[in-house]
Structure formats: C-alpha cells, structure tokens
Structure 1
C-alpha cells in the first residue's frame, strides 16, 4: 500500500462538484505528474491532498491516518507544497525566504537553531543558489526565483513535495532547469514528487507515473507509455495526436495534433470516455 492515497474522494467549490469519487495511489519515491485540460480538477486535487482546501467526502490517507486528523505542523513535516502562484516575497532575501521552510520545527519565539541554519544552507547548495543567499528575491530571474521556492520546500525536510505548474511563466531553458532539479532530488534523495504540468512532452519525459483527468475523474493512470496515447489524449484534450518516440529518452512524444471537429468525432470521443474511465490502473 502506498503511503499516500485517496478513497472515493469528492471535492467541491460551493455547490459545484469538481472531483468525483476519486481513488488513487501516489507511488512512493517516484515522480507523479497530473495532466488534463483547464478546469478538470488538477490543481483542486493537488490542494486537497495537501490540505490547502477541504474535501467533502471520501478520505485522503497518509501513513495510515486521515490528513484531516493531523496537526498543521505535523503535516508540514511530511508534505511541502509549492503553489502555482507563490505569495509575494517582496523585501526578503533568498536566505530569509528559505528559512520559512523551518517553521514546522520552530518552538517558542521561533529563533533559528544551528540545525536550522545547516538545513537552510544545505537547501541553498542543493538548488544551486548559495551565491544569492543575501540578495533580494525580487532581483532574481524567474528560474532563480523558482529555485528559491523549491529550496524553501527542501528546508521543510519533507519526503513529499507537491508543485502546481512549477514551470509556468518560465522560458524553455528555465523550465528544463527546474524539472531536472526535481528529477535530481527524486533520484538522489528519494523524494516523492507530485506536480501538475501542462506540457505533455515534459510530463512524459520526467514522470514515472502520470494521472490524466477529465471532468474530475481519472481517465487513465500509469506509466507514460500507457497514458500518452492517441486514445487518451483524444478523450482528455479533444485532440487527434500523432505519437512518436523521443529520440533521446525513448519516452512517448506528442509530435503534432489537430483539434477534433464535428459531431462524429465528438461522439467517438464520448465513447472513449466510457471505455477508459475505470480502467486507469
């Protein structure tokens, strides 16, 4: 049994049901990527699994206990989350922002201990931003700022890190820089990484496990070869894709695609949903 899983999970915003009856396991010490069209429930699922938002029914289990029963500090020692739009760090230095990751371990007046400083310096070094420790976060490039937020997550010393679209607003080089850093953390430190990505080829290249969502339900989950397929992409994104192989990684790759048009194509896609949902494992 995985350390983190959901059972018949329902998540709503007001009266609108976003995620329906979802049961999924997050593989330990692997990189899991959640894909799907806008509004399908990707970020909602991520937020619920980290208790940023509540769920209305079902259960989210971590280490044999419902996360709703964990204290905030106890949960923060197990799970770190980097939201899609991190809060402003105006006026903070890199070192100061990374030090916020030590909050779950602070007592009393919250002074940083020598152990805290060791962990902060380690997080700065691992993410390659030690030289910016005393610089303002505002003065950094987008890719460098994203590394600072990841370093703050590392400073929490959690086994699991959740990231909501960590490559948003970054150019191609900085996107690759961030994803390679996450992959390195997974391979060398055994961290469980769960992230939402829009780029299908990045998802296929870096993920060990992909969860494809449509309308709050799982269409398919598994290795990239099982998920990045013509049928699944037709169902999830309403596109007719040509799938090939990345010549460097041998992972599946979306080479080109067209939008599905016309009633017949939409009918075919509807039929694919019933065939795929429920057979995602």
Structure 2
C-alpha cells in the first residue's frame, strides 16, 4: 500500500536545483532508508516531503492530498520529523520537550489534558526515557538525548516518522540502540519509518526498502539486495565494493571497498 509519494518533485535553493522531477513511492508500515553521497539531495528531499522547505514544482501526495495544501496541525498529526541536529531551548526538562509533541492536539490556551499526559508518559516509557522526565535535556548524553527526541516525535501519535541521520555523533552502541528502537516501533506498532543514513551496512540491516540517490535523482530503489550491490554503489559513491552477507541478519553488507580510479588520459 502506498500512502505517500512524490510526483515530478523539483527542489532547489536560490538558483541551484538540487532535486529535479523526482517521483518516488514510500511503502506503508515499512522502514525506508535513503542513501547517497554528501550533497546529493537526501536531506533536501526529506525536508520537502515534510514541508519544512517548499518545493519548486511537482507535488508530495499523502493520503490522496497534496501536503502543500494541508492544514499545518492536520499534517502534524500524520507526519513527525526529527531533523539532523535538533535543538531545544536551554533549561527544558525531558518531560517539557516531549510535551511539545502534543501541540497538534492542543486547543484554546494550549493546556495539556489528561490524555496528553498519558501519551507523554507512554512515549517516555516506550523509548526508555521515563527516568529522565525531570532532568534537563542539556544534561543528557547524546544517545539519551536522541531517544528523548524520538519520544517527542512519538508523542505526536503519527503513523509516519521521518529522521535525518538519527545516528549522527553517536557511538556504535548508541547508534544500535536508536536503530533497534525504530525497528521495534515499526514491527510492534506499524509505524512507517523514513530515514537518511550514512552507514551502508546499518541502512541495509534495518531497511525493508532502500532508495539510492545521486545528484538529486534515483539510481536504484528496491529491497536491500537490489540496492546494496557493487554496480549501484559504484555509480552512487564511486567505489568498487565487495559485497557479502551479514552472518546475523543475512542482509547484504559492504565488506570492503576501494575508490574507483579514473582512467589515465
């Protein structure tokens, strides 16, 4: 089932066109990872699909409607976004930050209801951050802070969560902790997860569907076996990759690689 897709989407900044006439489909209730080299348009695409930035032409369609015409609060009940480097106001406690996820449901003076508090506590529990509820966000480690931001996204009660490089700046253990949490949200709650990842092996390990971008265009989209292969990685990253199998997941993985050398002239 496809609830979210783009149709001939073009995105740019000033005079520079980053993405041109891009049409993609995001599988519902699956984990989709987007890979590509720096500057290829991954983050730009995510921002346009969540209406953080406007697009120049084409459309982003969600549940049959163009998101450009959707009411902001209505859209926020369908899509939650975790940017690459989220920032919060200094001095906020974890509970206060997570409560911001309830904004789409607030009316009048914006007071939290009993239902809001129940959802906030649930989001903290699911992400394992309930013990931090009254602690300042600034006092947390990188991995703890990232889980709190995911809790805020969960508090929106959306069926789709977009994440731009959610493992950036985290050590290996915290990277795995965050990705396993997202996988759990997908498998147990049916959340559709769309995320940009730099690590190819992590992208393959946790994805049901992958999109490889180069210069704002799709090189390959499909399952992990179709995308994590030497031909695709050579075109996307200019590397000569040796592909094997992850012994624990049986997913394809990049074992080693060399740069593709340009022929001598």
Query: TM class, shorter-chain normalised?
Result: over 0.9
TM alignment of 1:195-274, pairs within 5 A: 195-263=195-263
Match of 1:161 in 2: 161
Could you tell me how far 1:15 is from its partner in structure 2? 1.1
CA distance in 2, matches of 1:22, 1:118: 40
Partner SS for 2:220: strand
2-side partners of 1:263 and 1:107: how far apart? Answer: 64
Residue pairs, 1:1-281, within 5 angstroms: 2-263=2-263
CA–CA distance in structure 2, aligned partners of residues 99 and 200 of structure 1: 34
TM-score under structure 1 length normalisation: 0.93
TM-score normalised by structure 2 residue count: 0.99
Q: Aligned Cα RMSD in Å?
A: 1.0
* In structure 2, C-alpha distance between the alignment counterparts of 1:73 and 1:44, rounded to whole Å: 22
- 1:275 maps to none
1:221-276, Cα deviation, whole Å (9 max, x unpaired): 01000000000000000000000000000000000000111237x9xxxxxxxxxx
Task: Judge conservation of contact 1:89–1:138 (CA < 8 Å) in 2.
Answer: no
Aligned 8 A contact 2:88 2:97 in 1: no
Divergent runs of 4+, >6 A: none
In structure 1, C-alpha distance between the alignment counterparts of 2:33 and 2:67, rounded to whole Å: 21
Stretches of structure 2 lacking an aligned partner (at least 5 in a row): none
Q: Distance in 2 between matches of 1:220 and 1:14?
A: 28
CA distance in 2, matches of 1:89, 1:183: 29
Query: Runs of 5+ in structure 1 lacking a partner?
Result: 267-281
Q: CA deviation at 1:90?
A: 1.6
Q: Count matched residues.
A: 265
- State how far apart, in whole Å, the 1-side matches of 2:70 and 2:10 are: 19
Deviation, 1:89, is 3.8
Correspondence for 1:276: none
